[in-house]
A and B are shown apart, each in its own frame.
Chain A
Amino acid sequence: MVCIMDEALELEVGHRVLEIGAGSGWHASTIAEIVAPAGAKREEWGHVYTVERVPELAEFARRNVERAGYGNRVAVICGDGSLGHLEKAPYDRVLVTAAAPEIPKPLIEQLENGGILVIPVGGLHLYQTLVRVRKKDGKVFEENLGGVAFVPLIGKLGFKP
């Protein structure tokens, strides 16, 4: 899934990326390696903000990210990812690593014009579709990238805990 999502996001050096669902921090680190590679100048670096609902996992992700050497390019935030992360918006790219019943509005609002959002949408463990959303001139274009199976997105605008 990491491969499919990283390809679908059309990531470039300098992108500011929001990830919902940090988990282990692995996915966020692969993205940091693309948007802020060691070979590029620091002022050209993008940044990854990753939101995790479970405090213990946020801590686990933070430790992993630091140990892998991406602590200066990945910020792990503990909170309700279904609301996005307004403080650092807008983002060039947004990805959600859990399935939502529908696309939470704040995630589209926090997306930069010209930006891409990739999110699995569907029922609990069933009939989920990976959706790519492109925002152009304030309009939103959706594209179906195929069937997937993700853990549920829990939150105010996700599934109820």
Chain B
Amino acid sequence: MEKQAWEGLIQRLIREGILRSPRVIKALRRVPRNSFLPERVEAHAAMDSPLPIGFGQTISAPLS
């Protein structure tokens, strides 16, 4: 995942008023989703949707 794509998503969530507290914003910047994804879906890390991680479970979407 490109760093800019993740930052772009964060900026959008700030603009939409979903991300408000500086500490949550900082945490999302420091812990991008891509390092927690199985390789096969890693390219979609900055997509705002849940992604499969196996065993019928998903990694949450940043927002929805």
Please give the residue numbers on chain A whose beta carbons come within 8 Å of chain B beta carbons, in ascending order.
1-4, 6-7, 11, 23-27, 29-31, 33-34, 37, 54, 56-57, 60, 64, 67-68, 70, 97, 151
> Which of A26, A37, A64 has the most B CB atoms < 10 Å from its CB?
A26
Q: Is A68 within 8 A of B62, CB to CB?
A: no
Q: Is B27 within 8 A of A34, CB to CB?
A: yes
The count of residues in chain B whose C-beta lies closer than 8 Å to any C-beta of chain A is 29
Q: Is B35 within 8 A of A68, CB to CB?
A: yes
Of chain B, the residue at the smallest CB distance from A6 is: B24
Task: Please pick, from A26, A33, A56, A67, the residue contacting B33 in the complex, using a CB distance under 8 A.
Answer: A26
Shortest C-beta distance, B63 to chain A (Å), equals 6
Where chain A touches its partner, the secondary structure class is helix
Q: Is B63 within 8 A of A3, CB to CB?
A: yes
CA–CA, A70 to B27, complex, Å?
12
User: Contact mask B22-64 → A, CB, 8 Å, 1/0?
Assistant: 0110111011010111100000000000000111111111111
Q: Count A-B contacts at CB 8 Å.
A: 81
> Which of B30, B37, B57 has the most A CB atoms < 10 Å from its CB?
B57
Please give the residue numbers on chain B whose beta carbons come within 8 Å of chain A beta carbons, in ascending order.
13, 18-21, 23-24, 26-28, 30-31, 33, 35-38, 53-64
CA–CA, A67 to B20, complex, Å?
28
CA–CA, A8 to B47, complex, Å?
22
Of chain B, the residue at the smallest CB distance from A5 is: B60
Shortest C-beta distance, A61 to chain B (Å), equals 8
Q: Is B62 within 8 A of A2, CB to CB?
A: yes
